[in-house]
Amino acid sequence: MIAGNGDSLTSLKLFFAGACLVLIFSPIAKAANPDALWHIVHERCALQTGSQGNVGPCTVMDMPHRIAVLKSIEGKSQYLLIPTDRVPGMEAPALRDLRTPDYFAHAWTQATRVGEGYGVQLPREDVALAINSQDGRSQNQLHIHVECIRPEVKVALYYMRDRVGNDWAPLPAPLLGHPYRAMRVEASSLAGVKPFLLLARSLRDPEHEMGHHTLAVVPEKFGGNRQGFLILDDVAEPLRKDRGSAEELQDHSCAIIEQDPLVTAVHHPL
């Protein structure tokens, strides 16, 4: 049941207060090799690319667009969009350059792969994109997580979506205890949206600030059935145990498969 604005905000606060009791902060472990993704893509995938479509461990190796897609070893549904150029992460100057490939747009084209490991097709609103800050990542090569959204995050954003405008503003309630800000984009795809540039233009000193920010992009519908996206931004605050990791909004166990009646099974021919 959808309550009025005041009741809705109160309910959201109660919802997240309860959620915080069961969600335990778990710091991201530093990878044994923080350059592992770079070596996989730049060496193994690139060297094994052949005329028969063999791209080694990568699912996609798109040299013209300078991106690769790798099935993550974490969970059955997660994919990673990774540049073939050397781009360390959110702090990279290249992300503020109009000539840089449209990484988020390319990542969204891979959203339909999420769920394949479970033999299902997910509705677009069940998938989220995320990139962690330099404070909350384990790899020093930019990678956008393409993964299932946490069910409670999907519900919370559904009730807050109409209070998100076309410019950056704080969300009415925190997500998993962290104070995200958000803006909406009404479009069926992310082509030309460029969330990295939208973030950079909102900061006073993007050269020094941007590395500490994290971004997520969540598909949503507005005004009934108009397709669009919510772009979410948080900034690392170690004193508040906030590592700037929007990956927290995703679910590597993809529990939403069991909760969303619109998920459909995919039957492969024998």
* DSSP reduced 3-state for 270: coil
| Long-range CB contacts for residues 31-35, cutoff 8 Å, separation at least 24 | 31/138, 31/139, 34/138, 34/139, 34/140, 35/139, 35/140, 35/141
Would you place residue 14 in the very low, low, confident or very high pLDDT band (cuts 50, 70, 90)?
very low
Domains annotated for the chain, with CATH where assigned, are: 86-265 (3.30.428.30)
Give the residue-averaged pLDDT of 11-34: 44
Token reading at 36: 């592992």
Nearest-10 crossing angle of helices 5-22, 151-160: 160
Q: What is the pLDDT of residues 22-32, one digit of tens each?
A: 332 333 344 57
Q: Is the pLDDT of residue 237 over 90?
A: yes
Q: Is the pLDDT of residue 106 over 90?
A: yes
Q: Is the pLDDT of residue 61 over 70?
A: yes
Q: Is the pLDDT of residue 168 over 90?
A: yes
Q: What is the pLDDT of residues 202-217, one digit of tens each?
A: 999 999 999 999 999 9
Would you place residue 55 in the very low, low, confident or very high pLDDT band (cuts 50, 70, 90)?
confident
Task: Find, among 193, 204, 206, the residue nearest to 90 by Cα.
Answer: 206
Q: Is the pLDDT of residue 19 over 70?
A: no
pTM: 0.86
Q: What local confidence, expressed as pLDDT, does residue 43 receive?
A: 85
Cα–Cα distance measured from residue 212 to residue 132, given in angstroms and rounded to the nearest whole number: 9
Give the residue-averaged pLDDT of 52-67: 84
Q: Which of 52-56, 149-153, 261-265 has the lowest mean pLDDT?
A: 52-56
Q: What local confidence, expressed as pLDDT, does residue 72 receive?
A: 94
Task: Find, among 153, 183, 178, 195, the residue nearest to 237 by Cα.
Answer: 178
How distant, in Å, are the alpha carbons of 57, 146, 250 from that of 74?
15, 12, 12
Would you place residue 18 in the very low, low, confident or very high pLDDT band (cuts 50, 70, 90)?
very low
